[in-house]
Chain A
Amino acid sequence: MKLLQATGRYYLLFSFVLFVLGGGILYLTLSYFIGIETDERLLDTRPALQFQLSAMDSLPSVLVISDDVIEVTPIAAFSEYEMYSDTMVWDAIEKEFEPYRKFTYHDQIHGQPYRIALSHTRLDSEALVMTSLFAVLGILLLLLLAINLFNRYLSLRLWRPFYETIRQIRGFNFDKGEPLAPPPTRIEEFAILNNALEMMTAKVLSDYRTLKQFTENASHEIQTPLAIIKSKIELLIQNDGRDENERQAIQHIQEATSRISKLNRSLLLLARIENRQYSDARELDFRELIGKKADQLEPLISGKNLTVRMELARVSKTMDPTLAEMLLNNLLVNAIKHNLHGGQIEVSLQEERLRIRNTGKPLEVAAEELFERFRKGAGASPSLGLGLAIVREICAVYGYEVRYECQDNWHILTVLWGGSANGQ
């Protein structure tokens, strides 16, 4: 339920209560005052009636003068008796009882005590009450309705900046790196909210950036000591007069350093992809790129005695050149690395997809985990398991979809260029 609806409902409920209460109070007040008015009128009639009755020779028991009904009853003793009461009187014409106000009192006419009951119809006054009531209630209803509608309109107008702020929060994206900038508003509460949000998102973004930067800087800083270690190892191996143990130690150091170095480079790459630092966009001829890559990797291909078949259509993609190269490199290296000696690779590039098929041993990890970081086959493979994670990350940047399938001992990796054919 919207806030507006909720307040609207309360308003309506409140209006209803007010309406009923107001109606009741109005009815009671009007009835009360009109009752007093009637009673006063009856009382005022008394002297005139006294005069009239005194002028009569004989007193009838019932006398009807216009709307008034007068009953005169002789009584034994006179007293200061006065009483107002409501009564019903049979209307012979309308054939129904009608409400009357009755004023009963004692009077002396020609020195004889009488009880006189003076009744006045209440139909007039009730009609008056009802008319006034409806008129006033009608106005009240209109007023409430108008107020409600106006309030609704006003709320919609006043809450507009709030909804704009919400819209911006929804669209907030870490990768864009821009803090929220809601439009200025005159409403203080919204201004406070907007201000708080601006500050919060700016802070969150800066923290996020710091964190990402840290990974990148750390990886970057590791490069130099690694370069020193590698260079020293290379100087060490020049002396081939070492004994078996030393040689083995150096070899192990060399291999471990190599692993750190590759790992670090991959992490750095991943961090930079995530930081969207590869944002160059160039039209790249993928057919040419794949050809070049295959050429560069030829020593690996011929070293493993692989047969490569390529069916490349002319396909261009707008991508960052580093990422495009990395994508193709990792896909091809993956197909070479996990191939059998003397195996086959098929590369097929089409308008809608790139598919790389290779022969190989059955998969050692679950297919869906293939693209996870540090996911690698069992055994003592020193492979990092970052190659396909990088592939996935690059595809994510450009909205490509990457899929793995296995058919008859062929491993198939497909990159679907998807709808966003022109990247970012």
Chain B
Amino acid sequence: MKILIIEDEPALASSIEQYLQQDGYLCEVAPTFDDAMLRSGAYEYDCILVDITLPGGSGLDVIRTLKREHSKAGIIIISAKHSLDDKIKGLEIGSDDYLTKPFHLSELNARIKALVRRKQFNGEQRIDFHEISVWMDKQEVQVNQQPLALTRSEYRLLLYFLANRRRVLSKESIAEHLAGDEADMLDSLDFIYSHIKNLRKKLVNAGAEDYIHAVYGMGYKFSGQ
């Protein structure tokens, strides 16, 4: 899977690259507008991350060009501008998602996965992890072929974990993923404990292994070992 990162901040671009590479993605970085136009015109990508403000031009123009050329790549805008207008404009000209800086890499990763899945396997969208299977289209979870009823929060939590397997997810990133980044629940991230606790209990009771591990002081990790 190939991803183009159009981002002029080398440090941020390298973080994204590093994080995504660990998931087996092939990443390329385009730090300028011209570079972005050149690469996106010459190669096929599964997903393109676009920063709006670029040296030499606007990321929005890159998206317009891509759309004009009927590119099949999923497009996610990563912008420091937090405004509904920009978001709406971005989505209108054909981007698939919009993420405001600063964001969590785990959130970006989950969005990329969801987007690519939506684009490439429309219809059958199934995620398997050992004995756990998730049907995205029906929002159904099975453990050992037995359906498992989860609340919406638990379901989203499970998907988030599955998108970021073997990664340590910070509590903050989980909280923001569940409640949105405007929630400003800094003083109490406690609410995620009960959701994690419930999900864990339900999975284990249904016969799954306990994959959710607390990483002391850091967050949680969903992994087989």
B165 partner residues in chain A, CB cutoff 8 A:
none
* CB-CB under 8 A for A231 and B105, given A237-B168, A333-B185: yes
Interface range on chain A: under 10, 10 to 19, 20 to 34, or 35 or more? 35 or more
B217 partner residues in chain A, CB cutoff 8 A:
244, 247-248, 250-251
Q: Could you give, for residues 12-41 of chain B, a 1 whenever the CB lies within 8 Å of some chain A CB and a 0 otherwise?
A: 100110110010000000000000000000
Whether A227 and B151, one on each chain, are in contact in the complex, defined by CB atoms closer than 8 angstroms, is: no
B152 partner residues in chain A, CB cutoff 8 A:
298
* CB-CB under 8 A for A226 and B194, given A231-B19, A254-B172, A384-B186: no
Flag whether A297 is at the interface (Cβ < 8 A).
yes
Q: Could you give, for residues 94-111 of chain B, a 1 whenever the CB lies within 8 Å of some chain A CB and a 0 otherwise?
A: 000000011111100000
Within the complex, the shortest CB–CB distance from B158 to chain A, in Å, comes to 13
* CB-CB under 8 A for A383 and B172, given A240-B221, A265-B82, A297-B179: no
Whether B184 and A384, one on each chain, are in contact in the complex, defined by CB atoms closer than 8 angstroms, is: yes
Within the complex, the shortest CB–CB distance from A76 to chain B, in Å, comes to 127
Whether A228 and B218, one on each chain, are in contact in the complex, defined by CB atoms closer than 8 angstroms, is: no
Query: How many residue-residue contacts, CB under 8 A, span A and B?
Result: 146
A268 partner residues in chain B, CB cutoff 8 A:
82
Interface range on chain B: under 10, 10 to 19, 20 to 34, or 35 or more? 35 or more
| Chain A residue with the shortest CB-CB distance to B101 | A227
Flag whether A326 is at the interface (Cβ < 8 A).
yes
Flag whether B80 is at the interface (Cβ < 8 A).
yes
Within the complex, the shortest CB–CB distance from A382 to chain B, in Å, comes to 5
Q: Could you give, for residues 366-388 of chain A, a 1 whenever the CB lies within 8 Å of some chain B CB and a 0 otherwise?
A: 00000000000000011110010
* CB-CB under 8 A for A224 and B15, given A247-B217, A333-B185: no
Bound-state CA distance A223–B9 (Å) is 12
B156 partner residues in chain A, CB cutoff 8 A:
299
Whether B153 and A302, one on each chain, are in contact in the complex, defined by CB atoms closer than 8 angstroms, is: yes
A296 partner residues in chain B, CB cutoff 8 A:
179-180
Whether B187 and A381, one on each chain, are in contact in the complex, defined by CB atoms closer than 8 angstroms, is: yes
Question: Which of A229, A233, A337 is the one whose CB lies under 8 Å from B185?
Answer: A337
Flag whether A230 is at the interface (Cβ < 8 A).
yes
Bound-state CA distance A366–B144 (Å) is 56
Whether B192 and A234, one on each chain, are in contact in the complex, defined by CB atoms closer than 8 angstroms, is: no
A247 partner residues in chain B, CB cutoff 8 A:
216-218
Q: Could you give, for residues 257-292 of chain A, a 1 whenever the CB lies within 8 Å of some chain B CB and a 0 otherwise?
A: 011011001101100100001101000000000000
* CB-CB under 8 A for A223 and B102, given A299-B179, A383-B187: yes
A387 partner residues in chain B, CB cutoff 8 A:
184
Flag whether B84 is at the interface (Cβ < 8 A).
yes
Q: Give the contacts of A51-90 with B (CB-CB under 8 A).
A: none
- Please name 8 further chain A to chain B contacts, defined as beta carbons within 8 Å, in addition to the given A298-B152, A303-B191, sorted by A numbering: A223-B80, A235-B18, A235-B105, A251-B217, A296-B179, A299-B179, A302-B191, A322-B83
| Interface residue ranges, B against A (CB under 8 Å) | 9, 11-12, 15-16, 18-19, 22, 80-85, 101-106, 151-153, 156, 167-168, 170, 172-173, 178-180, 182-188, 190-195, 215-219, 221
Pull 25 A–B residue pairs with CB atoms less than 8 Å apart, ordered by A: A224-B9, A227-B12, A227-B101, A228-B9, A230-B102, A231-B19, A234-B19, A234-B105, A234-B106, A237-B170, A240-B168, A240-B221, A250-B217, A254-B172, A272-B83, A299-B153, A299-B179, A303-B190, A303-B191, A325-B84, A329-B183, A333-B182, A333-B185, A337-B188, A383-B186
